[in-house]
Structure 1
Amino acid sequence: MAGASGGRSLEETPTWAVAVVCFVLVLISIIIEHIIHLIAKWLKKKHKRALYEALEKIKSELMLLGFISLLLTVGQSPISNICISKSLGATWHPCSKEEETESNNNKAEEETDSETGGRKLLSMLSDSGGSFRRILASGSSTDKCAERDKVSFVSKDGIHQLHIFIFVLAVFHVLYCVLTLALGRAKMRRWKHWETETRTAEYQFSHDPERFRFARDTSFGRRHLSFWTKTPALMWIVCFFRQFVRSVPKVDYLTLRHGFIMAHLAPQSHQKFDFQKYIKRSLEEDFKVVVGISPPIWFFAVIFLLFNTHGWKSYLWLPFIPLVIILLVGTKLQVIITKMALRIIERGEVVKGVPVVQPGDDLFWFNRPSLLLYLINFVLFQNAFQLAFFAWAWYEFGLRSCFHRHVEDIVIRISMG
């Protein structure tokens, strides 16, 4: 069967060309698989169990995306042969009718420019016999939906463009997760200095476990116990701005470290325990979660595609949803630390040694700490989705297509991502 666009089928294609294409594709696949195998081997050698599981999850996600692409390939003809009425096919377009008309006119001009060359090619092939007749029959095949005065549910060109978008989305999602892990580890490098400081004599003297102090006079108390903590609304406002400036200061790190040791380890482990290393392992465990794409996140991605239509001005509000969510998560984490400080006051005005914080599930939304991690996972995927959509639209339709007709649309998508 000849190609859908009137090109040569494999019957008229040199076998060496087919072999070269297959060889290149297989070679690239083997190289990528070998690189992933080397990374997995290195992670096992370094005893990075969480990162190894994250790598396996990335492989499964890539396999899922590949399976979706395979389904699109197999279902290309059946999907394109589904016919709907023209009135229904004219609804919810990403471009306005004026932009569609302008785009069609540009395509018509390009076809007109190449018509002369096409006629010359036609005359050259007119003497080539049966091979030409097969190509001509393929190129002149009529649209089944057009014969019924209808349009395709999704055209074959549209399915091909969707193929490319899935590939771009997979690349951006993996890069986004890896970049987030790298930035998190880079931020924690400064904590290594604080961890080393806990082994010095100066630290032991300033944090004497037998010393009694007012809770408000401690460094942790002076940071979190003030007049603004008495009003919930004011506390949320202060915590909102705190996430932008030193979201994890030294006093919070040392206090949370002390509270963790008192809750889970023996007091003698205070100097030996490396809390920064424990947090790094916890980050790797969390990375194993956020790198995955759950069914609800896929559902929201489809919703984002649905509302990316002309008239909804989605470029003015859609990219801001992940921003609002991540700001709420950052504020909530600051509020949790502040509430742990308030619990110290509730237990007594005077503390012995370093204030001991007591976290609990009741400090989180719906008593579910995992909800914050899920929201971070959602934001990571949606930001990768926004940037992937921008890169795909740029590649397929140009920078100033109807997807990004406005300059503010380009600025918002890139800056929010």
Structure 2
Amino acid sequence: MATVSSNEFHLIVPEEAQGAEVKLGSDVTVPCHLSPEISAVDMEIRWFKETDCVCLYKNRQVTEGRSYRGRTGLSTEDLDRGNVSLKLKEFRESDIGVYLCQVISEDRTEEITVGVEEEEARKDSDVQPVNQPSKIQGRQVHLTLHESNSTWEENQKMKIEESALITELEVNYVKVLHQTIFKVFKNQEKKLEQTEMQLKASKMDLERVLQKLETITEKSGLLQNEKCIDMKESHIQQIEKQLLQITKHIEEKQIQLEEKNTQLENMSKQMSEKEKLLECTIKEMETSKQQLETLRQEHMRQEEMLEKKEQLRISELNEKSKCLEETKSLLEERDGKIKDLEKEKERLDEELQDKDRRLKDINAKLMQTVKEVEKKQNQLQGKHTQLENIHKMLSEKMKHPENKAKELEASKCQSKEKETESTDLEK
């Protein structure tokens, strides 16, 4: 084996191209090796089918996914040669698909996507297949195992990580439960052994007392000494009291054992209930993830709608600014015409001093025109205020762009009519 650092490796699918027939229900190996062939015993290996966790290898222990229990595993004896291939037992049609292998060593993570497909589905692909034979009775399928070019989106990567964490948490929870049950049973066994030892000791004491009584009766006789009889009777009473105490103690121990058994049964029930609760919480997590995904999509749609509305508002504001510039240019032209009229008036005053009456009439007419112009200015200012009000109404009525466009066209027509009237009056 090459002496290479555990962080300098990448994953490959062996380039072995052999056509073979795979039968459903057989054992299939999804190939994956480390290059160079370094040991993967102390690494973390994770296999996924799409986003579902299939198998985990961590701290030199193999853990199967919930949907693949009893059907998956790794070749632990080949890990020291860099073989991290996945073993699938009782191969089914549902096992056909895309698999992801991740190998984690310290701060380095390498991954590869392996496609497990039928040969018919791979006719148009340019990737060289790696075929895996299997011999078992069942329907035959042309199965190809190949390195896939599939890419994983961010939401799929999140689902992959969540699936691995859920599988690891389930395993840890089951281990803790088994450990607690084992400790409880061990304690109960120790207590039972202690009670058995006490019972044996009490039996031995009774046997010894009986033997002493037999020896005493044989030596002295029953009617020799009343004091001995009284002593024996008192001794027997003490022994009976001890026996009663021992029986009570045994009964209490039996009651305690029964209580412990009931407690164990309750604990096992609670454990099963907790497992059910854990499954329910996992299901709730999955539903909450789906709800979050729908909310995110709805939020994106709302953002798109807001962007469209903002674009419409900007275009309308641009049109309004253009209209204002046009009105400004028209006002400037009007001011220029007024200045020209004033110059013409001065010239006429200098040249036509003899025609005062006509000049007075002309001046009166000019004054009237100036008043009308001022009126038109006032009207234009009113229109300007109307345009500002229309702008405010347009900003409030962004949901009705058609009405706003019609009102703008009407205001434009009115302003144009007023301008034409002002130009006619000036002429």
Q: Larger % of strand: which?
A: 2
TM range (shorter): under 0.3
TM-score, normalised by the number of residues in structure 2: 0.24
